[in-house]
Structure 1
Amino acid sequence: MKLGETISFPTFSVGTDQAKTEPKEGALPSLDIPATDFSSFSATSETTKNLTQVETHTGEEGEKVEVEVRVKLFEFVKVGESSSWKERGAGPLRILVNPTTSRYRLVMRTDNAIRVVLNALPYADMRIEKPHEKQIRFTCINAVESSSKIGSFWIKLMNGPDTNTLFRALEKVKAHSKIHSEGKEEAKEDAKEAKEGAKEPKTTEVKT
């Protein structure tokens, strides 16, 4: 699937056994996750007391955090003839902006392993939906998977306010991406016209 193509969100339920049966039209996958799942790891837990502090580099040092919320991430995966929502982990989802280029990206790392599970640039035609008070669905190309295909992602949040904050932020960066993309195309056209205008006019010798 290429950018610009229409994509519909799948509506399969979470779990391998349930993936074979599609629910009724309009039904949503069951993603009711206890809030305790989000607080199973904290900076003051016993597992961190005896750790030696070391300097780490995440690649995000030069970027500004616009929004950060805790989520649980699911990705729609097709394996053969079966399809299902697969859990990718829980942790902070950040919307980062590069002050130099003004480009945004979505980054999520899991709590325990600090493993990057989402690294994506928003684009003008990405789908963003809020099917539930504490759920958001969206499409993106996840660079973590080293794939150029558009994937479907579903996130579960802890509360309504966080969901609204993230949803508005995603709509904002999508609009910004559209303007940025259109601006680049206009700049290319202007440069092309300027280049054409800079050419010396051709003269044709007329014999008399």
Structure 2
Amino acid sequence: MASTEGDHREEEEAPHNEDEDTGAQVAPIVKLEEVAVTTGEEDEDPILDLKSKLYRFDKEGNQWKERGAGTVKLLKHKQTGKVRLVMRQSKTLKICANHFVLPTMSVQEHGGNDKSCVWHATDFADGELKDELFCIRFGSVENCKAFMEMITEIAESQKATEENKEATSTADLLEKLSVEEKKTEDKAGEETPAAKEKESKTEDAEKEVEESASST
């Protein structure tokens, strides 16, 4: 019994090697380098960012199909001022909507549901242009209203910009035409040197005939 207690005492006094520092350094097997990730949104400023769920209307099946749940953004280009609607799925970040907000775009409440709205767009989410009918649903009436108001405001702003450009272009064209007409009139009123010389010779001939007649 005594020896057993002695052995137990020796085990308690023995140092533990679990936290012992051996001084060894383990180098990583693979060295990872930082990679710059681009989203294509670097030259745009977000003016709206809301969580939502997107649907597209399947014409062949005549039914709505879920496109994805995530965040819908309205992005304004820093130089051109154009606004783009982009939505990515929350988990995969796959693009489920990608199109410009055009002056012709209009958004309406969907079937009396004040949390959902619909619109037509020429979308590029799948890598090719497609005419789509979208429906988006938000978690609150306030978010849906903010989305609809923002889309309407942007579309009207784009329309006004296009009208101003068209008016300016028309004014420039009219001014150019008026300048060209004036140049044509000025040119028509000018006499060429040959015409002036011919006119002078005619006057001299007529003068000689008059002198000859008076002398006789």
Where does residue 158 of structure 1 map in the other structure? 139
Where does residue 88 of structure 1 map in the other structure? 67
Where does residue 103 of structure 1 map in the other structure? 82
Offset at 1:92? 0.6
Where does residue 74 of structure 1 map in the other structure? 55
- Kept in 1, the 8 Å contact 2:106–2:151? The answer is no
Where does residue 163 of structure 2 map in the other structure? 182
| Counterpart AA for 2:184 | P
Where does residue 29 of structure 1 map in the other structure? none
Where does residue 167 of structure 1 map in the other structure? 148
Query: 2: distance between equivalents of 1:135 and 1:63?
Result: 26
Establish whether residue 120 from structure 1 lines up as the match of residue 103 from structure 2. no
Query: 2: distance between equivalents of 1:62 and 1:114?
Result: 19
Offset at 1:55? 3.3
> So what's the TM-score if we normalise by structure 2?
0.64
Alignment of 1:14-25 (within 5 A): none
Offset at 1:54? 5.1
**Structure having greater relative contact order (Cα 8 Å, sep ≥ 6):** 1
- DSSP-derived class of the 1:124 partner: coil
Establish whether residue 139 from structure 1 lines up as the match of residue 120 from structure 2. yes
- DSSP-derived class of the 2:184 partner: coil
Alignment of 1:28-47 (within 5 A): none
Offset at 1:201? 2.1
**Structure 1 residue corresponding to 2:184, chosen from 197, 201, 208:** 201
Q: Identity percentage over the alignment?
A: 23
The unaligned stretches of length 5 or more in structure 2 are: 1-32, 200-216
More helix, by proportion = 2
| Counterpart AA for 1:103 | K
Count residues in correspondence: 154
Bigger Rg, which one? 2
